[in-house]
Amino acid sequence: MRKLIVLVTVAAGIGIGPMVNSRPAMAQVKEPQLLSLQQAVDYALKNNLALKNNQLDVQSAQKKVNEILASGLPQVNATGSFMNNVQIPTQVLPNFLKPTLVAANPGSASAIPDIIEAQFGQKFSTTGSITASQLIFDGGFLMGVKASREFVNLSRINIHRNEIETKVTVSKAYYQALLLQTNLNMIDTNLKTVSKAKNDLEKLYQHGLVESTDYDRMRLQYSQLSLQRDKISDFQAVALMVLKMQMGMDVNDSIMLTDNLDALYKKSQVSATEAQVEYSNRTEYKLLKQQMLLNTYNKKRYQYGYAPTVSAFLTHQQNSFGADFGTLGSTWYPGTYWGLNVSIPVFDGFRKSAQIQQVNIDIRKNENDLKNLERYIDQQVYQSKMAYKRASEQLLIQEQNMKLAQDIANRVTLKYNNGLGSSLEYTSAQNELENARNSYLTTVYEYFIAQIELRKALGEIK
């Protein structure tokens, strides 16, 4: 029992923090929601908030693809400007008329200046233009689009990984709560038996047919069982709270577990200790493979940086001028032109070379991470197989021990009811039965945990 208490306490400490019951005091009590293990898992896959955030990450990655694609589509921009030339700029020009004027009147040469101070333009002017451009070729853009699409796949793999973790976490929480519920049912059965024996012994004691020690011993047995039941009842309430939180359910909702430990155990009896692991079945392995693909695209993007970038543009504009604001816009002067822009990288101080070398290092690290993960998976599978095999063997032994303790308790009870046994023998048999039941239930839980950890290690949880 002590081991069981520790397990529940740890689960409660990890799964929940301080909570406030915000339900109104007069709120209508809802019928408890019936949940099997599969229903609990299905509910969590739809309502777990962490999984919802992962789904939002995928949507964000898809929008990132659209953002990158947008730079390869036609870009159209319209601009407008207004100018008030408070002081029209003066331009100084050579006086090209001076030779002609001097030839016509030689005496005026000194009076004619060598330069002309001229002001070009009007006081007011306005311009409206529209420009369209289109990227024709950019290797970095092409690799960026491919990489962004693979990043979406990376987000999807991450969702799958978190779905697996959610299934494992919810299953463990369900097993814990179901274990405590089963233990409560067993204690209730035991309490009925001890209560009947206590009541019978009380009548005998009142008539002076038994000693007070026998009666007090039976009272103590009943009291200890009652206290133990109250503790387990509290632990089960906490375990159900943990389960609801893992599922993404309102902690104030009421649930009732419908699965049976024995039925789940019989259903789960499959031989998995000889199964071989396929690394590609593990989502962690898929994530590293996807990261390596992204690094490859990143390297190609830098390599394409040595290639020219080509784009085309078309611009049309309208200009209007006026000596005063009232005449501005009365006449418009159009202008249209198009062209090509070609950017050829010549020398960047070896920046792209350094970037490519950095990516090569990341790829080598990625390869090392894959090898390390393979070794970790092999070790994890080995340990999980060993734990599952040991839990299976111990469960059979604990089941036999519980049956043996039950047989002993039945024989002692029969002797006690016929006046052939002592209260000490009876209470000792009941204690042994209770300990055997607790050990059996704890081993059942350990079996389920070992099995789900093995399936996770083998990549069988999809």
Angle between helix 423-458 and 212-247 (nearest 10):
20
* Average pLDDT, integer, range 367-383: 94
CATH H superfamily, domain 2-15+33-81+126-458: Outer membrane efflux proteins (OEP) (1.20.1600.10)
**Average pLDDT across the chain, whole number:** 85
Bridge partners for 90 per DSSP: 119
Could you tell me how many residues make up the chain?
462
Instruction: Give me the mean pLDDT over the 11-20 stretch.
Output: 35
What's residue 90's pLDDT?
83
Q: How far separated are the first and last CA of the chain, in Å rounded?
A: 34
Please give the pLDDT value at position 4: 40
Distance CA 301, CA 64 (A): 17
Mean pLDDT of 336-347: 92
- Percentage of the chain modeled with pLDDT above 90: 42
Query: How confident is the model over 23-47, as a mean pLDDT?
Result: 78
CA–CA separation, 441 and 444 (whole Å): 5
Per the model's pLDDT, the better-predicted residue between 100 and 345 turns out to be 345
Q: What is the mean pLDDT of residues 38-45?
A: 94
Q: Are strands 115-119 and 90-94 parallel, antiparallel or unpaired?
A: antiparallel
Indicate the DSSP class of residue 35.
E
Q: Which residue has the higher pLDDT, 32 or 314?
A: 314
Q: Does 269 score more than 70 pLDDT?
A: no
Largest CA distance in the chain: 161
Residue 291 reports pLDDT greater than 60: yes
Tokens of 274: 């000889």
β partners of residue 259: none
Phi and psi dihedrals of 207, rounded to 5? -95, 5
CB–CB of 427/221 below 8 Å?
Answer: yes
Q: At residue 25, does pLDDT exceed 70?
A: no
For residue 27, the model assigns a pLDDT of: 44
> What is the Cα–Cα distance from 245 to 358, expressed in whole angstroms?
43
Closest CA to 457 of 252, 317, 272: 272
Whether the Cβ atoms of residue 366 and residue 292 lie closer than 8 Å to each other: yes
Query: How far is the C-alpha of 460 from the C-alpha of 442, rounded, in Å?
Result: 25
Question: Domain map of the chain by residue range?
Answer: 2-15+33-81+126-458
Lowest mean pLDDT among 10-24, 101-115, 173-187, 260-274: 10-24
97 falls in which pLDDT band (50, 70, 90)?
confident
Of the pLDDT bands very low, low, confident and very high (cuts 50, 70, 90), residue 200 is confident
The answer to whether 272 and 454 are in contact (CB under 8 A) is yes
Q: Could you report the per-residue pLDDT of 139-168, keeping only the tens digit for each?
A: 888 888 888 888 899 999 999 999 999 999
Q: What pTM value is reported for the model?
A: 0.76
Give percent above pLDDT 70 in the chain. 92
- Give mean pLDDT, residues 425-440: 85
Q: Poorest-confidence range of 24-28, 83-87, 164-168?
A: 24-28
The answer to whether the CB of 186 falls within 8 A of the CB of 439 is no
DSSP state at residue 140: H
- Residue 98, pLDDT > 70, answer yes
Output the CA–CA distances (angstroms, integers) from residue 426 to 193, 295, 460, in the order listed.
Answer: 11, 72, 48
User: Mean per-residue pLDDT for 332-337?
Assistant: 93
